[in-house]
Amino acid sequence: MANVDVAGIHRPAGTLDAAGALRPYGGPWNERLAAHLMRRAGFGGSPDEIRAMAAMSPAEAVGSLIHFPSTANMPQPADVFDPVAYLRGQFGNQRPADMTEDQKRERNKGLRMQERQSVLALQAWWLDRMLNSPAPLQEKMALYFHGHFTSAAIQKGVTPPMVLAQNQLFRSNALGNLRELTRGVSKDPAMLIYLDNALNVATHPNENYARELMELFTLGVDHYTENDVRESARAWSGWTVFRRTGEAGFVGTRHDDGTKTFLGKTGNFNGDDIVDIIFEQPQAATFFAGSLLNYFVYNDPEPALVDAVAALIRKHDFELAPVMSTLLRSDVFFSERAYRALVKSPAEFVVGAHKALGLTTLDPTAQRGMNQMGQILFYPPNVAGWPGGQNWVTSQMVIARQNYVAGLVNSQVMAQSSWLPSVPMTAGPAAAALIASILQGDASPLATAQLASYLNGASESALGMLSGENRDERVRGAAYLTMAMPAFQLA
């Protein structure tokens, strides 16, 4: 039997067909499923973008997302942030030793302001890419990795140029090899500083990165020993970050070149060897399979499904492009079990709201709105990243979402909406058009009737008839009510 949830979505009962879960989807294809694909493999689509995607076959639609088009014409980081100028401002020509205490305080105040302004500029740049990039899956993967291989700006001396370089690393490896990305992020300046591996020397091994590399990034808890942590730390010793350039480097005299025993293997290992040994463990593929399913399909995936995706990962030697291509084309991805089964993160919610309204310019309050919803880009709360899921919809965060959308529909950027001005003039068709365009029809009959009642002027909050000078105000209010519905909170 099937039941209908609070979002008006049919959730059929039954068990997973693990053997067929990754088969190419062969069912009906329509705008509702095209929108589902665009939410998961990006941040949603405008009505026009959804119609264009629905005009393709499912395989063609996924292929258009997997094969990234050029983004060379998009604004580049240098358009909003100059790392060289940043470093020049940080160090300047006057040495702290030559300054008075008052000058040092003023200098430090200026440097902190420069850091904050730089990060704000990078946040705005990245949100614009999420909204307007012709390669939305590339940005979605960068966001996934940002919450997986976690580092945070300004903490422990992690500078804005470092988090930008890490962000670009994630983007350039968006559908690359997980082993090689792990190797690269291990030597990334932001990561080296954030998890203290830049302080790891043979005489005083620092175990912080060695532990998190296994526990949070590649294997999970209970799949290594404390001795593995110690031996990995020894192998990673010698890496540092040169302060004036912000670049990473290896200093051989700081490295422990003795014999180590790690995950059952013995040798004179370095950090690259540690990564290779980790990815030889069957658990590595299982770990990433669970992570990808939780992020792109649904939470708490069945063990049989995790095993099937892990086998796929091993088959392709941790290359993400064929894995994601199979996953996004699969029966399980397009199942009702997966449909709107994930809570949108604030980034998905904010960018998705702009997409749904047909906007290409970000509302100036987008970053502040995201902060209030609990997600600050480049500032994850800790090394585990954002907890996600139901944690995104506490009562306080739901209010923040509603407040943000209320401000958005009344902002000046709404004048650029590609479709809202064409909403029908009568209440019933207008309500149907809003629910079809914003929610792809995912609303209960009661919610639809209440929206029509509001548009018709029958509710207490009504502002008049759906005509004349207040028509635009009423349609914007109805768009707000539509985006406040349960289905819009779900990806």
- Report DSSP letters for 439-462, one per residue: HTT-S-HHHHHHHHHHHHT-STT-
Q: In terms of Cα–Cα distance, which of 419, 418, 437, 421 is closest to 488?
A: 437
Per-block mean pLDDT, blocks of 10 residues, the chain (491 long) = 63 74 96 98 98 98 97 87 72 65 72 86 96 98 98 91 96 98 98 98 97 98 98 98 92 97 98 98 98 97 97 98 98 96 98 98 96 96 94 96 97 95 92 97 94 77 53 93 97 97
Q: What is the pLDDT of residue 446?
A: 93
Residue range 26-71, pLDDT digits in tens: 999 999 999 999 999 999 999 999 999 999 999 999 999 999 999 9
Going by the DSSP 8-state scheme, the letter that residue 25 receives in this structure is P
Measure the N-to-C terminal CA separation of the chain; round to a whole number of Å. Answer: 24
Domain count, the chain: 1
**Under a CB-based contact definition with an 8 Å cutoff, are residues 482 and 442 in contact?**
no
Does residue 395 lie in a domain region? yes
Q: What is the pLDDT of residue 462?
A: 42
Does residue 111 lie in a domain region? no
CA distance 399 to 183: 41
- Rounded to the nearest angstrom, the gap between the alpha carbon of residue 300 and the centroid of all alpha carbons in its chain is 19
SS3 335: coil
Cβ atoms within 10 Å, residue 20: 11
User: What distance separates the 2 farthest-apart alpha carbons in the chain?
Assistant: 81
Q: What is the pLDDT of residue 266?
A: 98
Q: At what angle do helices 136-148 and 101-132 cross, to 10 degrees?
A: 140
**Under a CB-based contact definition with an 8 Å cutoff, are residues 91 and 107 in contact?**
no
**Under a CB-based contact definition with an 8 Å cutoff, are residues 250 and 233 in contact?**
no
Q: In terms of Cα–Cα distance, which of 478, 460, 359, 487 is closest to 6?
A: 487
| Residues 295-307: b if buried by 16+ CB within 10 A, e if exposed | bbbbeebbeebbb
What is the span of the domain harbouring residue 400?
Answer: 346-489
**Would you state the structure tokens that stand for residue 165, as one six-digit string?**
């370089």
29-33 long-range contacts, Cβ below 8 Å, gap at least 24? 29/54, 29/57, 29/58, 30/54, 31/440, 32/440, 32/441, 32/442, 33/58, 33/334
Does residue 39 lie in a domain region? no
As to burial, measured by CB atoms within 10 angstroms (0-12 exposed, 13-18 middle, 19+ buried), residue 163 is: buried
Q: What is the pLDDT of residue 2?
A: 52
Model-wide pTM > 0.75? yes
Q: Which residues contact 459 (CB under 8 A, 6 or more apart)?
A: 450, 453
CA-based angle 308:312:316, to the nearest 5?
Answer: 170
Q: Which residues contact 391 (CB under 8 A, 6 or more apart)?
A: 374
Residue range 453-479, pLDDT digits in tens: 999 875 444 444 556 557 888 999 999
**Under a CB-based contact definition with an 8 Å cutoff, are residues 364 and 123 in contact?**
no
| Residues 24-37: b if buried by 16+ CB within 10 A, e if exposed | ebeeebebbbbbbb
**Under a CB-based contact definition with an 8 Å cutoff, are residues 443 and 398 in contact?**
no
Does residue 108 lie in a domain region? no
CA distance 391 to 488: 16
Does residue 373 lie in a domain region? yes
Q: Which residues contact 233 (CB under 8 A, 6 or more apart)?
A: 200, 205, 206, 207, 209, 210
Q: In terms of Cα–Cα distance, which of 378, 333, 371 is closest to 349?
A: 371
Q: What is the pLDDT of residue 1?
A: 41
Residue range 191-239, pLDDT digits in tens: 999 999 999 999 999 999 999 999 999 999 999 999 999 999 999 999 9
Q: Which residues contact 85 (CB under 8 A, 6 or more apart)?
A: none
Q: What is the pLDDT of residue 459?
A: 45
Does residue 57 lie in a domain region? no
| Residues 169-202: b if buried by 16+ CB within 10 A, e if exposed | bbbebbbbbbbebbbbbbbbbbbbbbbbbbbbbe
Q: Which residues contact 158 (CB under 8 A, 6 or more apart)?
A: 151, 152, 189, 190, 193, 194
Q: What is the pLDDT of residue 7?
A: 66
As to burial, measured by CB atoms within 10 angstroms (0-12 exposed, 13-18 middle, 19+ buried), residue 454 is: buried
The alpha carbon torsion through 451, 457, 458, 462 (nearest 10 deg) reads 80
Element (H, E) at 112: helix 101-132
CA distance 354 to 368: 15
Q: What is the pLDDT of residue 14?
A: 64
Does residue 455 lie in a domain region? yes
Does residue 407 lie in a domain region? yes
